[in-house]
Structure 1
């Protein structure tokens, strides 16, 4: 009786709420546990599982658990990096990639898929490739 390990996936949302990605991972992790327990309960007592297969399945279980933990730590690291990047933009002058919008950043809003800077004049710029960031000139 073979064991199929579910794929661990992490989703993103545009709402800024990361619980959807972590709950999808938790569902896959819980599915793996249920599958392993069900397989052990339903094995034929006259032909018990080979100890080699059992050890291989336990190793797979450990690997899935470690993957979930690594993904969680990587998400934390990316969030921290994004917060640092956003903080560094406040008070700086940025110009959009097409050069049409320029101004001093008043605030930033973080989303799971990027950062949007709101300028003092109320306009918004998506932070991405091609934007220019400069120190804000000191007015005399």
Structure 2
């Protein structure tokens, strides 16, 4: 199969939502670090922080960091999956759910609203529920 064209634009809405979630997690992550450092700087030398509490806070800190990295990795894997599926659709025939649009897929664009196929006749077709690809 010859690949004509696959446009891999990162889903804008997904990136915005993920960036917002990542920023919220990063803000909480940064705030946690600032609070921990402030707590250590301002503790009473005659009555220091309980080591058990300190280890517990550091474990929480590590857990949040790993969750942020996991979310980033999952987003990347999902985008790669979209691109692979789009590449596999090129050269195949797509028919809309109501049968009004049909043709051979020449390229696929991925955006926040999903995948959109451009057919060889210039028509576009949103690849969603009910669309048949053969």
Instruction: Confirm or deny a common fold (TM above 0.5).
Output: yes
Cα distance, 1:75 vs structure 2: 1.4
Higher RCO (Cα < 8 Å, 6 or more apart): 2
**Residue in 1 aligned with 2:61?**
61
Counterpart mapping for 1:116-131 below 5 A? 116-131=116-131
Going from structure 1 to structure 2, the CA distance change for 1:47 and 1:79 (only over 3 Å counts) comes to same
Greater fraction of residues in helix? 2
For the residue of structure 2 that corresponds to 1:129, the secondary structure is coil
The alignment's C-alpha RMSD in Å is 2.5
For the residue of structure 1 that corresponds to 2:87, the secondary structure is helix
For the residue of structure 2 that corresponds to 1:115, the secondary structure is strand
Counterpart mapping for 1:66-81 below 5 A? 66-81=66-81
Scaled by the length of structure 1, the TM-score of the pair is 0.72
Distance 2:53 2:99 in 1: 61
Count of aligned pairs: 122
Residue 52 (structure 1) aligned with residue 52 (structure 2): yes
Farther off after superposition, 108-117 or 58-67 = 108-117
Distance 2:51 2:112 in 1: 44
Distance 1:32 1:112 in 2: 32
- Residues 29 and 61 in structure 2, CA contact (< 8 A), matched pair in contact too: no
**Residue in 1 aligned with 2:106?**
106
Scaled by the length of structure 2, the TM-score of the pair is 0.75
Cα distance, 1:17 vs structure 2: 7.8
Going from structure 1 to structure 2, the CA distance change for 1:17 and 1:67 (only over 3 Å counts) comes to closer
For the residue of structure 1 that corresponds to 2:133, the secondary structure is strand
